[in-house]
């Protein structure tokens, strides 16, 4: 102690301040290093959890006496770094009811004496849970709820209740489902649950908007308006893309525009054809030859040299062939294609382009399809002469549209364009 006091006395004021600061710095560094060594490093166990899943996992971690922390908005669970993988495997192996549903693991611990009604309810819950997990695996889906109405088989009931399903989806922000994906979910549910047709699966989003079309009533042969409009748009987009590919490859991008209008058949068509088989008289099904001698006794013909009168009796039967051909709704009734090309084109070249466009769009003259191809010079290159529109005193000239005529009347009065392939 005396040595330290002598050392301290020999130091001037500036040295004493430096010595004190050094001691404080060493103590602080030692404390920080000790805290870092003693502090536990927490890493992410699961992130972006739903509230019910986070509650289920934290309850299980409490049972396992595993320390954890919550981060973010409570949807991220942190555990000590050395226990991350071990804890994760334990939780996955416990088959917890994650994502708000239980699956077929519900039957792993079946209770003795379970009634038939309880087994049906558990089976329905298990199916709903498995479908929920499968649908939620899609990248666009954030959460999902599945509700099933199982078919009931009754002995004395004439009509059993039809099985149905409803799926409520919550999509991720900025994500949407394509029509093919919606149909895929319908088929997935239909294939997983007995007695459910794809049309009986209703899918809605988080805003309550139906992603599926309502199924047409049984026996209704008319296509619903929404489905017919969607089919019309899809067909027009497909044919327009084919025509534009031909034009762009032939003349380059931006050298032409095309518009396709498709009229679809709205009704189912059933054609029955009946034809006669076996020729005009029919086919011989039974024949009998008899002979009568002079005494008048009838006997079957036994030999070619028999004497007497020979009679022949034959029975004919006419066969019928009935053929029924059922054409579903959605077939093409008519296709109209309009093409506009840049620059000037000769009439021979326009005719060849018209035939090429007709082949690309699948137009059929026998069906009444129309294909028109014009160049920009033909449509917009020639100025309008006012003299052709009005007479000498301002009255409409012959052939000019009268005042007050509607667009439909003007179109009807205009000369019809020649169909493709005509001279």
Q: So what's the pLDDT on residue 224? A: 43
Provide DSSP, 42-84.
EEEEE-S--HHHHHHHHHHHHHHT---EEETTTTEEEEEGGGH
Angstrom distances, CA of residue 126 to CA of 115, 204, 223, 235: 16, 21, 36, 41
168 with 235, same domain: the answer is no
The residue assigned the tokens 């290159």 is 381
251 with 374, same domain: the answer is yes
138 with 254, same domain: the answer is no
What are the pLDDT digits (tens) for 151-193?
876 666 666 678 899 999 999 888 888 888 999 999 999 999 9
234 with 377, same domain: the answer is yes
Query: In the numeric block, which tokens belong to residue 126?
Result: 């298990």
244 with 368, same domain: the answer is yes
Q: So what's the pLDDT on residue 244? A: 93
CB 319 within 8 A of CB 276: yes
Q: Is position 101 within any domain? A: no
What are the pLDDT digits (tens) for 12-43?
778 778 878 888 888 888 877 776 666 677 88
61 with 81, same domain: the answer is yes
- 240 pLDDT more than 80: yes
Number of folded domains that form the chain: 4
The residue assigned the tokens 């020729």 is 279
CATH number, domain of 256, equals 3.30.300.20
206 with 118, same domain: the answer is yes
Q: Is position 113 within any domain? A: yes
- 412 pLDDT more than 70: no
Between these two residues, 405 and 150, which has the higher pLDDT value? Answer: 150
156 with 238, same domain: the answer is no
88 with 191, same domain: the answer is no
Q: So what's the pLDDT on residue 191? A: 92
Q: Is position 409 within any domain? A: no
Mean pLDDT across the stretch 267-287? 71
| Average pLDDT, rounded, for the chain | 76
Q: Is position 63 within any domain? A: yes
Q: Which of 59, 93, 127 is the last residue of a domain?
A: 93
Cα four-point dihedral sign 79, 82, 87, 89:
positive
Q: Give the Cα separation of 363 and 337 in Å (integer).
A: 9
Residue 350, classed as helix, strand or coil, is helix
Q: So what's the pLDDT on residue 226? A: 47
255 with 351, same domain: the answer is yes
Q: So what's the pLDDT on residue 88? A: 85
- 406 pLDDT more than 50: no
Q: Is position 220 within any domain? A: no
Q: Is position 285 within any domain? A: no
116 with 169, same domain: the answer is yes
What are the pLDDT digits (tens) for 48-75?
777 877 888 888 888 888 888 888 778 8
Spell 22-50 as b/e; 16+ CB within 10 A means b.
eeeeeeeeeeeeeeeeeeeebeebbeebe
Q: Is position 222 within any domain? A: no
Collect all residues with Cβ–Cβ distance below 8 Å to 176 and sequence separation of at least 6: 140
Q: So what's the pLDDT on residue 36? A: 63
Between these two residues, 277 and 333, which has the higher pLDDT value? Answer: 333
Mean pLDDT across the stretch 117-138? 87
Q: Give the Cα separation of 266 and 68 in Å (integer).
A: 63
What are the pLDDT digits (tens) for 211-236?
887 655 544 444 444 456 778 888 89
| Band (323; pLDDT cuts 50, 70, 90) | confident
CATH number, domain of 144, equals 3.30.300.30
Q: So what's the pLDDT on residue 405? A: 43
Collect all residues with Cβ–Cβ distance below 8 Å to 199 and sequence separation of at least 6: 186, 215
111 with 147, same domain: the answer is yes
Between these two residues, 407 and 235, which has the higher pLDDT value? Answer: 235
Q: Is position 390 within any domain? A: no
Structural domain that includes position 246: 230-268+328-381
- 338 pLDDT more than 90: yes
CB 140 within 8 A of CB 177: yes
| Band (280; pLDDT cuts 50, 70, 90) | low
Q: What percent of the chain shows pLDDT beyond 70?
A: 72
Spatial CA neighbour of 163 closest among 203, 122, 196 = 196
- 408 pLDDT more than 60: no
CB 78 within 8 A of CB 45: yes
């Amino acid at each position: 102690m005396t040595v330290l006091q002598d050392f301290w006395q020999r130091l001037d004021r500036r040295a004493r301040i430096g010595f004190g600061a050094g001691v404080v710095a060493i103590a602080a560094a030692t404390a920080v290093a000790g805290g870092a060594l003693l502090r536990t490093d927490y890493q992410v166990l699961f992130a972006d959890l739903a509230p019910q899943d986070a509650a289920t996992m934290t309850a299980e971690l409490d049972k396992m006496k595993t320390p954890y922390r919550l981060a973010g908005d409570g949807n991220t669970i942190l555990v000590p770094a050395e226990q991350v993988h071990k804890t994760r495997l334990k939780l996955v192996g416990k088959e917890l009811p994650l994502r708000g549903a239980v699956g077929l693991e519900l039957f792993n611990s079946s209770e003795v004496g379970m009634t038939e009604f309880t087994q049906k309810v558990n089976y329905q819950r298990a199916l709903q849970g498995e479908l929920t997990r499968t649908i939620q695996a899609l990248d666009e889906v954030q959460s999902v709820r599945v509700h099933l109405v199982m078919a009931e088989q009754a002995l004395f009931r004439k009509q059993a209740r039809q099985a149905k399903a409803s799926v409520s989806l919550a999509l991720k922000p900025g994500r949407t489902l394509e029509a093919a994906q919606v149909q895929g979910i319908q088929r997935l549910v239909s294939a997983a649950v007995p007695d459910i047709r794809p049309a009986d699966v209703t899918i809605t989003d988080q805003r309550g908007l139906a992603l599926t079309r309502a199924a047409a009533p049984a026996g209704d042969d008319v296509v619903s308006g929404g489905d017919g409009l969607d089919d019309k748009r899809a067909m027009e987009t497909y044919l327009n893309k084919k025509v534009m590919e031909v034009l762009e490859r032939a003349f380059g991008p931006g050298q032409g525009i095309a518009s396709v209008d498709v009229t679809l058949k709205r009704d189912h068509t059933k054609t029955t054809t009946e034809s006669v088989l076996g020729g005009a008289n029919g086919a011989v099904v039974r024949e009998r030859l008899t002979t009568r001698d002079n005494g008048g006794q009838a006997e079957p013909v036994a030999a070619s040299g028999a004497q007497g009168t020979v009679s022949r009796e034959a029975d004919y039967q006419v066969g019928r062939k009935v053929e029924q051909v059922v054409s579903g709704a959605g077939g093409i009734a008519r296709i109209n294609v309009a093409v506009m090309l840049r620059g000037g084109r000769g009439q021979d070249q326009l005719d060849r382009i018209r035939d090429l466009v007709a082949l690309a769009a699948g137009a059929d003259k026998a069906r009444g399809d129309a294909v028109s191809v014009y160049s920009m010079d033909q449509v917009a290159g020639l100025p309008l002469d006012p003299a052709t529109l009005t007479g000498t005193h301002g009255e409409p000239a012959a052939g000019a549209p009268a005042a007050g005529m509607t667009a439909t009347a003007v179109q009807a009065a205009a000369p019809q364009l020649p169909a493709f392939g005509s001279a």
